[in-house]
Chains A and B, each alone.
Chain A
């Protein structure tokens, strides 16, 4: 499997993070993170469990308040926004949760309609149905429209979760462990779906994972979170195959050798 080729062309940062710090009690999770996400790229954030990868994207989405640092998303400083402004910004972000976070009491159709009805005014029933059908077709699961989340497999749930975020046509996608808990074949399908979303919707994405196959397949650029900072950034080859860093090598060997 060859690593994905980086996106070429002019680069404009859609997310800029500077000196980001957050602690939970005595546990210093992020210790001065600097990161840029450029227009149209898939940035994979790698790191061991508990290193603060998910915390990072929750800060970007305004779900967690950092102790220090700045987070600029699409030109807006997330920490300075009031509730209404933050809600407006969130509509430009698609957040795919680790466990899909589908609403258990709603059907697939209602799950997809939920953000649409609440955020887009003056939509007719036909418009809503069309948007739902398109989003489901995007992830290849049109037949599940009337099913409950409990009737879906893990991979299907992930896809529906992604479809629910796509329905609002976000500019930036945030994927939290998109392949966690999935078999290799389903993981591969999700990886290809992430690439398709990038190509079809021209989104910029941050993908949180500790799965190197996922990183290699979807990542235009890899950022490795070590001890609360991004110490290694670059293409997959730069971070792993041409690297002498012991921690990166260890991560690589556990994924591909063991």
Chain B
């Protein structure tokens, strides 16, 4: 455990600098891989912490609603307003709902929701678990016969994995509403006509890919926050670092995943 992991890190001190750095990278990667593997092992094994899962879903989902609603609504208004002049040049302002639907469903909703969640939820998870680690609350759970990984990590990762796609869909809904408010003021379009044009431009592939992408983003945000918090050390300084690293790492990974997912979806569309 602690003792053996410390000894393995001291063994590396005698090696050349590049080798030591490589060792550290690979050790960190193997540590992350075993953390993820433990999640998949624990998630299917009873007992299931339903009460804690529901509590975390409330924390991640319901408590993020005001921020997601505001951001979605304003994004809808701003994006519509900013896109209008370009379309007006070609006399194509009637295409605004189509443009908004593609932008919102395919890219903006999952990405912006994930970024907001990284900041709000990821940092919260990192700080909370980090603080529990340094105040020995995690060890207290362990000695009282409770599996802290299942109670703390599994419940949080399940919550982010299910709640972030839900929040992304909510973002789309509020974005559409914001966009319609702007369109209705300028183009005098009826709501039904707006919705009809909106949905005519997107396919099931778009909606499915957004949901799947958001599930991946949610899992990433949850697992990164939990990993950083659960393994934090060095007292209160460690708690701050865990919270910060949770946000930075999950945002970075969300962008990388967005790029990779884009390639996959483009390949599917081309096929």
Binding site for B on A (CB under 8 A): 22-26, 58, 61, 63-67, 87-88, 90-91, 93, 95, 97-99, 101-105, 114-115, 118-119, 164-165, 168
Q: Is B6 an interface residue (CB 8 A)?
A: yes
In-complex Cβ contact of B144 among A65, A98, A105, A119 (8 A): A119
CA distance A253 to B263 in the complex (A): 73
Q: Is B187 an interface residue (CB 8 A)?
A: no
- Secondary structure of the B side of the interface? helix
On whether the beta carbons of A63 and B143 are closer than 8 Å, the reply is: yes
Residues from chain B with a CB closer than 8 A to the CB of A63 are 1, 139, 142-143
Q: Is B200 an interface residue (CB 8 A)?
A: no
On whether the beta carbons of A101 and B9 are closer than 8 Å, the reply is: no
CA distance A174 to B209 in the complex (A): 53
Q: Is B86 an interface residue (CB 8 A)?
A: no
Given A101-B135, A101-B137, does the pair A67, B3 have CB atoms closer than 8 Å? yes
- 6 pairs of A and B residues whose beta carbons are closest in the complex: A101-B140, A115-B144, A25-B10, A101-B136, A95-B143, A65-B1
Residues from chain A with a CB closer than 8 A to the CB of B145 are 87-88, 90-91, 115, 118-119, 168
Q: Is B160 an interface residue (CB 8 A)?
A: no
List B residues 1-58 near A (Cβ within 8 Å): 1-4, 6-7, 9-10
CA distance A98 to B137 in the complex (A): 11
Q: Is B131 an interface residue (CB 8 A)?
A: yes
CA distance A56 to B139 in the complex (A): 15
On whether the beta carbons of A64 and B2 are closer than 8 Å, the reply is: yes
- Secondary structure of the A side of the interface? loop
Task: Mark interface residues in B123-137 (1 if CB within 8 Å of A CB, else 0).
Answer: 000001001100111
List B residues 135-163 near A (Cβ within 8 Å): 135-137, 139-146
- Give A185 Cβ to nearest chain B Cβ, in Å: 25
Residues from chain B with a CB closer than 8 A to the CB of A118 are 144-146
On whether the beta carbons of B4 and A97 are closer than 8 Å, the reply is: no
On whether the beta carbons of B143 and A24 are closer than 8 Å, the reply is: no
A-B contact pairs, 9 of them (CB 8 A): A25-B10, A66-B3, A90-B145, A97-B139, A103-B137, A104-B131, A114-B144, A115-B145, A119-B146
Whose C-beta in chain A lies nearest to the C-beta of B7?
A25
Q: Which of A87, A101, A119, A168 has the most CB of B within 10 A?
A: A101
- Give A21 Cβ to nearest chain B Cβ, in Å: 10
In-complex Cβ contact of A26 among B3, B10, B132, B139 (8 A): B10
Whose C-beta in chain B lies nearest to the C-beta of A27?
B6
CA distance A118 to B10 in the complex (A): 39
On whether the beta carbons of A98 and B9 are closer than 8 Å, the reply is: no
On whether the beta carbons of B144 and A90 are closer than 8 Å, the reply is: yes
Residues from chain A with a CB closer than 8 A to the CB of B132 are 103-104
Residues from chain A with a CB closer than 8 A to the CB of B146 are 114-115, 118-119
In-complex Cβ contact of B135 among A64, A87, A99 (8 A): A99
CA distance A162 to B139 in the complex (A): 15
On whether the beta carbons of B144 and A22 are closer than 8 Å, the reply is: no
- Give A135 Cβ to nearest chain B Cβ, in Å: 13
Given A97-B136, A99-B135, does the pair A24, B144 have CB atoms closer than 8 Å? no
- Give B59 Cβ to nearest chain A Cβ, in Å: 10
- Give B44 Cβ to nearest chain A Cβ, in Å: 16
On whether the beta carbons of A90 and B143 are closer than 8 Å, the reply is: yes
